[in-house]
Structure 1
Amino acid sequence: MKKTTSLLLNLLFLFLLISCGGSRTDSRVYNVRDYGAAGDGKTDDAAAIQRAIDECAAAGGGQVLFPRGYTFLSGPLSLASNIEYHFETESRLLANPLESIYTLSAFCENRGEGMMWLYAKDVKNISFTGMGTIDGNGVAFMGAELHDSYELKPVTDFDPRPHVLTLINAEKVIIRDISIRNSAYWTVHLVGCNDVTIDGISLLNNLKIRNGDGIDIDHSRNVRISNCYIESGDDCICLKNRREFEEYGVCEDVVVTNCIMTSRSCAVKIGSENVDSIRRVVFDNCVIRNSNRGIGIQNRDEGTVTDVIFSNMIVDCRFFSDVWWGKSEPIYVTSYPRARGNHKDAGWRFPKGATEGRCGNVSDIRFHNIRCTSENGAFVGGDTPDKVSRITFSEVDIDLRRVTDYPGAIYDKRPCDGEGYVRGKEYAFYIDRASDVTIRNCDVNTDCSMSGYKFRN
């Protein structure tokens, strides 16, 4: 009797374990191969992957799995809530190079700045994990290779280049450990998102691809970026408030730590698009190397930038060609009205009905314990003396040394009306129309080819 009872109890326990644990967990993993994805790198697997996503979402969520050893070529994919997109080691999701399949604009009605590849709107609890790779196939969308960049194909009001990942109004986002590579345009674009963690990723774009931003934090809040390695032709990490998404409000409460970055434009940038407020931002314990510009606040619209701290950083800059904005400024704090022009999306640069813009205030910005080695010095300026104010440099050391043959003694104000450059001598700190600027305990060193001047204001 005791043996029978014990056997029955064991069977009951096994039944409960299977029904409540094992089988339920297995059923919530949606392997894209089970939905017909070939994974041969030649067949477009978008329809199969989308079936896996849709079935996972319909079941209440789970994991969409990209198994190891396969390359999944894919066109655009619509992502869903409550799903972990998991990429096993040696798996790769590769953007289909056929331009005609990218038809959804990354900027609403503005079709002049690229389309979407992986995208979602109004979602929550969405994550991207694993040791696999998301590959934007960027060079396939470029023109001829030049000595300093890739030629951009001619466009009018439509640019087919796909952004890699666009999340609009997403709540609780995690991007962890994966590699993201070779974007043809912006790579990770967070619009109106809240509660975002990006940790331990490698984001490696081709340094010759223009507009190849790394991470763009747009009208988003409560964002943490840490332990990342980023290389990008354009800005590595950029905070902004684009006009196309102005309904999502401010960009605030952003912390970036322990990252290594290289850029042909500006490694860390705030702006240039800013129609609202960017505030309460911290960058700490970061290394910037071999970049055209190091840390940049480039306010060109009516929005404001305030309460920002940059601390404990190493910044290494050098000159690159005028294809890229920047003139080897290790630190750059500016507010100038945006340039007027006939750019492909000029109609979206100014408030509706306006033909010219204005720039907001930049204030309460602190730089502490930063070691800079560069061919140029820090630049601070605005269109009026009160536009840029309460800027503090504390223990910011600048080592001026020439390493290229590009002309020096020039600072880059673009994009702005009028002359886009300030010309003169190399200064460690060039203060051009600003107020309440503090420079405290800062050392300056120059090599024999530099002017030797320390300050200009």
Structure 2
Amino acid sequence: MPLSAKPRLFDVRAFGAAGDGRTLDTQAVNRAIRAAAEHGGGTVVFPPGGYLCFSIRLAGGVTLRLEDGAVIEAADPARHPGRYDLPEPGVGEFYQDFGHSHWRNSLIWGDGLHDIAILGPGRIEGLGLTRDGPGARWRKKTGERPLSMEGMSADEIRALEPLPEHMNGLGNKAIALKNCRNVVLRDLTLYKGGHFAVLATGVDGLVIENLAIDTDRDGIDLDCVRNARVAHCRVNTPNDDAIVLKTSLALGRPMATENIIIEHCTVSGYDIGTMLDGTLGRTQQLAPDRDPVTGRIKLGTESNGAFRNIVIRHCRFERSRGLALEVVDGGVIEDVVAHHLSMQDVTTAPLFLRLGDRRRGPEGTGIGSMRRVSISDIEATGIDPRYAATIAGLPGHEIEDVSLQNIRLVYRGGGTAADAARTPPLLADAYPEPSMFGTTPAWGLWVRHARGVLLENVRLETATPDARPAIVREAAEVIDKG
């Protein structure tokens, strides 16, 4: 970032912050940020201590530095005198969740800024944030929620998705950035980040490095982001996705997520808090969608725009769902490379490529496409036997040019002859999840409505016998080079 080699330092205590973990320090912190901005930029320093805050408003050219032992704690409107900034007006949440549609109702937020950073080694704790929020106002009866949630009552859904008016004064994100340029997030620990620990929307030029995130719902969401690198992060999210790329309509129009590198990261679905304390708890079995714990890397589900030039490499998946590439809202996924991934205790499918027809978007939204995907040097063990690696397009809208090379997938086995006889329905407009089709007719690889699928040195194994075939092709062109 083009900040001074010797930046001006603004100690939040000099602006009235108590740092005692009990006094509300919101106004003092925001005074320090304004002072740094008025001096042409600088670094706002948080010395060791606890800083209880409602919304912290970033400014261009300003870095927040949390020293070792410094903790910014999200205040709780139910216990502390104050509230978070109200959700700003805008395009609304018609085609995406409330959490995706607003940024100011967050612990730390910035809009339209450039040259900003939040640096550790300190800690952000979202104890006063909520993980809940309304879903999209778009209602089509199908495709809005995973099929695994079909049996939930209206009261159970309402508990997860309160009405918008109930969100006023609440904060549901730890860090939210909109339309910013040249951003660095580095060396931080985040615990319980609400709906999103980090939400970046419309950001160009982003480095996220060496973050440890152990949180209630999504970890890192990059929505309509360009030129970003996520590296050396540990993200534990049993209830939702760990690192996810999206192309929603939150900014009012389709925009691309492109030129993204995700590398040397570990994602997991251990019990909340147990990644940070090192105990790696396994008590929680199901996520709120009633499928097994999540914690994966995913492209989608929001997919109105294009995903291009995405690289995912040298990452580890632990007790989580596998790699998912999903385009269901008219967008495009193309030129994706994923290599050198290791997976242990995979809770659904190790690989899930889905081209669907949800079309959550304005009139004229069509069916998207997926092409030129290269996946190589993957080893996955302890895989849920119900869900084979899946490549599933639609009739007349095939997934194209997928390369699977140097891959070893080890399933737990146990499938039956009845499982082998299944022909899952198309479910074109359903929410995309590996469980959507039920138990797959293959135990290793199921390919449907795809062409140009290349298999080279793909090894499929089961720990116990399985009555299903290893590979099932349905309306698919698969070239197996052995």
Question: When the two structures are superposed, what TM-score results if normalisation uses the length of structure 2?
Answer: 0.76
- Out of 42, 47, 52, the position equivalent to 2:27 is 47
Instruction: Kindly indicate whether the alpha-carbon contact (under 8 Å) linking 2:45 and 2:64 is maintained by their aligned counterparts in 1.
Output: yes
Counterpart residue identity of residue 190, structure 2 = I
- Out of 319, 341, 348, the position equivalent to 1:290 is 319
| Distance in 2 separating the partners of 1:365 and 1:151 | 38
Deviation at 1:447, TM superposition (A): 2.0
**1:330 has 2:341 as partner:** no
- Out of 38, 44, 47, the position equivalent to 1:64 is 44
Provide closer, same or farther for how the CA distance between residues 107 and 243 of structure 1 changes in structure 2, counting only shifts above 3 A: farther
Is the partner of 1:50 in helix, strand or coil?
helix
Provide closer, same or farther for how the CA distance between residues 256 and 76 of structure 1 changes in structure 2, counting only shifts above 3 A: same
**1:101 has 2:83 as partner:** yes
| Distance in 1 separating the partners of 2:425 and 2:175 | 30
Is the partner of 2:443 in helix, strand or coil?
coil
Aligned residue number for residue 176 of structure 2:
166
Is the partner of 2:361 in helix, strand or coil?
coil
Aligned residue number for residue 281 of structure 2:
none
Counterpart residue identity of residue 328, structure 2 = R
| Distance in 2 separating the partners of 1:169 and 1:139 | 23
- Out of 400, 404, 417, the position equivalent to 2:430 is 417
Instruction: Kindly indicate whether the alpha-carbon contact (under 8 Å) linking 1:413 and 1:422 is maintained by their aligned counterparts in 2.
Output: no
Deviation at 1:191, TM superposition (A): 1.3
Counterpart residue identity of residue 455, structure 1 = I
Instruction: Kindly indicate whether the alpha-carbon contact (under 8 Å) linking 1:38 and 1:45 is maintained by their aligned counterparts in 2.
Output: yes
- Out of 381, 390, 398, the position equivalent to 2:392 is 381
**1:223 has 2:228 as partner:** yes
Deviation at 1:452, TM superposition (A): 5.2
Provide closer, same or farther for how the CA distance between residues 266 and 366 of structure 1 changes in structure 2, counting only shifts above 3 A: farther
Instruction: Kindly indicate whether the alpha-carbon contact (under 8 Å) linking 1:298 and 1:334 is maintained by their aligned counterparts in 2.
Output: yes
Deviation at 1:151, TM superposition (A): 9.3
Structure 1: gaps (5+ residues): 1-23, 144-148, 320-327, 340-348
| Distance in 1 separating the partners of 2:22 and 2:33 | 21
Aligned residue number for residue 305 of structure 1:
333
Larger Rg: 1
| Distance in 1 separating the partners of 2:182 and 2:116 | 7
Counterpart residue identity of residue 231, structure 1 = N
| Distance in 2 separating the partners of 1:88 and 1:126 | 17
Aligned residue number for residue 133 of structure 1:
123
Provide closer, same or farther for how the CA distance between residues 427 and 106 of structure 1 changes in structure 2, counting only shifts above 3 A: farther
Aligned residue number for residue 343 of structure 2:
315
* 1:16-35 deviation per Cα after TM superposition (whole angstroms, max 9, x unaligned): xxxxxxxx958x21111111
Aligned length: 398
| Distance in 2 separating the partners of 1:194 and 1:141 | 26
* 1:166-200 deviation per Cα after TM superposition (whole angstroms, max 9, x unaligned): 11111111111111121111111111111211111
Counterpart residue identity of residue 40, structure 2 = G
Deviation at 1:92, TM superposition (A): 0.4
| Distance in 2 separating the partners of 1:361 and 1:266 | 25
| Distance in 2 separating the partners of 1:63 and 1:139 | 26
* 1:296-344 deviation per Cα after TM superposition (whole angstroms, max 9, x unaligned): 011121110000000011022444xxxxxxxx111000011228xxxxx
Is the partner of 1:312 in helix, strand or coil?
strand
| Distance in 2 separating the partners of 1:437 and 1:193 | 34
* 1:37-85 deviation per Cα after TM superposition (whole angstroms, max 9, x unaligned): 12222222111111011111011111101101x1111001110011110
Counterpart residue identity of residue 389, structure 2 = A
Is the partner of 1:397 in helix, strand or coil?
strand
- Out of 67, 87, 92, the position equivalent to 1:110 is 92
Provide closer, same or farther for how the CA distance between residues 306 and 129 of structure 1 changes in structure 2, counting only shifts above 3 A: same
Counterpart residue identity of residue 55, structure 1 = A
| Distance in 2 separating the partners of 1:41 and 1:35 | 16
| Distance in 2 separating the partners of 1:106 and 1:88 | 31
| Distance in 2 separating the partners of 1:368 and 1:430 | 17
Aligned residue number for residue 251 of structure 1:
257
- Identical columns (%): 22
Is the partner of 2:31 in helix, strand or coil?
helix
| Distance in 2 separating the partners of 1:72 and 1:227 | 27
Counterpart residue identity of residue 251, structure 2 = F
Provide closer, same or farther for how the CA distance between residues 25 and 432 of structure 1 changes in structure 2, counting only shifts above 3 A: closer
Matches within 5 A, 1:184-203: 184-203=194-213
Deviation at 1:415, TM superposition (A): 9.3
Deviation at 1:138, TM superposition (A): 6.1
Deviation at 1:442, TM superposition (A): 0.6
Deviation at 1:157, TM superposition (A): 3.0
Aligned residue number for residue 91 of structure 1:
70
Provide closer, same or farther for how the CA distance between residues 450 and 105 of structure 1 changes in structure 2, counting only shifts above 3 A: farther
- Out of 11, 27, 36, the position equivalent to 2:16 is 36
Instruction: Kindly indicate whether the alpha-carbon contact (under 8 Å) linking 1:365 and 1:391 is maintained by their aligned counterparts in 2.
Output: yes
Provide closer, same or farther for how the CA distance between residues 218 and 142 of structure 1 changes in structure 2, counting only shifts above 3 A: closer
Structure 2: gaps (5+ residues): 100-104, 134-155, 270-292, 474-482
Provide closer, same or farther for how the CA distance between residues 261 and 418 of structure 1 changes in structure 2, counting only shifts above 3 A: closer
- Out of 301, 308, 316, the position equivalent to 1:279 is 308
- Out of 286, 291, 294, the position equivalent to 1:265 is 294
* 1:113-154 deviation per Cα after TM superposition (whole angstroms, max 9, x unaligned): 2332211111111111121001111676679xxxxx999455
Aligned residue number for residue 456 of structure 2:
440
In angstroms, what is the RMSD of aligned CA positions? 3.0
Counterpart residue identity of residue 113, structure 1 = F
Provide closer, same or farther for how the CA distance between residues 198 and 102 of structure 1 changes in structure 2, counting only shifts above 3 A: same
Question: When the two structures are superposed, what TM-score results if normalisation uses the length of structure 1?
Answer: 0.80
| Distance in 1 separating the partners of 2:255 and 2:11 | 38
Please state which structure has a larger fraction of its residues in strand: 1
Instruction: Kindly indicate whether the alpha-carbon contact (under 8 Å) linking 1:385 and 1:434 is maintained by their aligned counterparts in 2.
Output: no
Provide closer, same or farther for how the CA distance between residues 246 and 276 of structure 1 changes in structure 2, counting only shifts above 3 A: farther
Is the partner of 2:164 in helix, strand or coil?
coil
Is the partner of 1:195 in helix, strand or coil?
strand
